Amino acid sequence: MTNRIAQASAPPRLWNRDFSRLWWSEAVSFFGSQLTLFALPIVALQNLHASTSDVAWINTAAGIGTLIFLGLLGPWTDRGRRTRFMAILSGVRAVLMTAIAISFLAGQLSLPGLVVAAAVIAGITGLYDSAFAALIPGITHRSKLTSANSWIAGIRSAGDIGAGATAGILLQLFSPFALFIADAVTYVVSAVAVASIREPKPEPPTPLSVRAYVASLGSGFRSLYRSAIMWPVNLAIAHFNLFTATIQAVYIAHALTTESLTAAEIGIAGALGGVLGLLSTLIAPRAWNWAKPALVLSFTFALPSIAALGMLLLSPGRPVLNVALLGLSLGLWASSVMVNITGTETLKQIFIPSESLGSFSAASRIMTWGVDPIGAALAGALAYFLPTGAVLAIAAVGVALSPVWILGSTAVRALPLLAKAGGN
């Protein structure tokens, strides 16, 4: 009897079998996604002779693909087993990356083909991430959500380390074919890992007519708009993402076209930035336990503007200094985003019912990721008339203004410490 009482009163563990497998599957899946995101602009510039504006259009296509897939298929993240759905999505991504590799090897890869591939892979990844976010509360105790989200954000920063360096080295020493095949392998491993997770048995899905399916497409948006907490938070994320998409669309081209860095050096800088982002895993839970959400959110939304300005200091003839400068800029960016995501994901998991988390996450991503093609298109349009440095400066100002939505929300400003808001 004493043993049973002790077991019942024992605190819940974060690192149980299923969370451990989910964490490792995310590490592999995210590594594959980052390989793709890092490589496509460089392959376009160096192998397909694309311009800076062409690279921006690739990012625009990726954002449009995310909107289409989440908009049309988002409700499926709440139907049936999410682990099975995620495994299928990873398998499809593996097939697509293999097809791209074969196309490159055969000399048939073109810029339009790369644009379409970016759209499809980004859309599938958006669905995967929505299902992933909805799966976490089902295998993690409520009191461990902040820690779980911190560890997940941390492994994503670690993924930036490995993916950036690996992509740069593979492209420098081998060819895009080797990188695309490596990417496909990561998706296969991810599919196998996530399929082995023991997910709580979901309710049997109700029959879905065309009318009911169309109605379900808007359920996530209704939940999002009606949430006094998550609506302003998502407005701030969308504002932030709009201008960070502009930065992402041009910073690699800025480094390459100004001849400040090579592809391999950009990869090394990305690894350095990832290390700094990973170290922020140590401070993320402390930050949310020390300060109210409004303060942490405002600070982490505004700080990456400094990173964008740091990229303006890159100049030819200083490879070591340029790698350090870009690495610090990316590290500041990664650290801010990692701390921010830890809290915003926890807030979502606290205030949104588990059974609708998938559709809510899909709607949230449509809103916050849907601005990415606009930001990338803005970068492409500005790059026609302005140097890349000027585009980075404009985007930095936009990022700095993103906390206005948090500071303007009475409900967010009134939130207590995250642990108290979650009842932990």
User: How remote is the C-alpha of 35 from its chain's centroid?
Assistant: 13
Most confident stretch, 176-180, 300-304, 321-325: 300-304
Task: Report, as an integer, the average pLDDT of 356-384.
Answer: 82
Cβ atoms 155, 23 nearer than 8 A:
yes
Cβ atoms 405, 235 nearer than 8 A:
yes
pLDDT exceeds 50 at position 4: no
pLDDT digits (tens, 9 = 90+) for 135-160: 888 788 777 787 888 878 777 766 66
pLDDT digits (tens, 9 = 90+) for 288-322: 888 999 999 999 999 999 888 888 888 888 888 88
Per-residue model confidence (pLDDT) at position 98: 93
- How does residue 89 score in pLDDT terms, banded at 50, 70 and 90? very high
What is the rounded CA–CA span in Å between residue 185 and residue 170? 15
We find that the CATH architecture of domain 15-202+209-421 is Up-down Bundle (1.20)
What is the rounded CA–CA span in Å between residue 153 and residue 149? 6
pLDDT exceeds 50 at position 3: no
Per-residue model confidence (pLDDT) at position 208: 59
SS3 314: coil
User: Please, how many CA atoms are within 13 Å of residue 240, restricted to the half-sphere of its CB?
Assistant: 26
- How does residue 405 score in pLDDT terms, banded at 50, 70 and 90? very high
Per-residue model confidence (pLDDT) at position 2: 42
Amino acid at residue number 383: A
pTM: 0.70
Q: What is the DSSP letter of 14?
A: S
Per-residue model confidence (pLDDT) at position 8: 43
Burial class for 7, CB neighbours closer than 10 Å (0-12, 13-18, 19+): exposed
Rounded to 5 degrees, what angle do the CA atoms 342, 132, 67 make?
A: 95
What is the residue extent of each domain of the chain? 15-202+209-421
Per-residue model confidence (pLDDT) at position 146: 77
Per-residue model confidence (pLDDT) at position 207: 61
Long-range contacts of 303-307 (CB under 8 A, 24+ apart): 303/332, 303/336, 304/240, 304/244, 304/332, 304/333, 304/336, 304/337, 304/399, 305/396, 305/397, 305/399, 305/400, 306/332, 306/396, 307/332, 307/333, 307/336
pLDDT exceeds 80 at position 100: yes
Task: Report, as an integer, the average pLDDT of 89-116.
Answer: 90
- How does residue 9 score in pLDDT terms, banded at 50, 70 and 90? very low
Amino acid at residue number 336: S
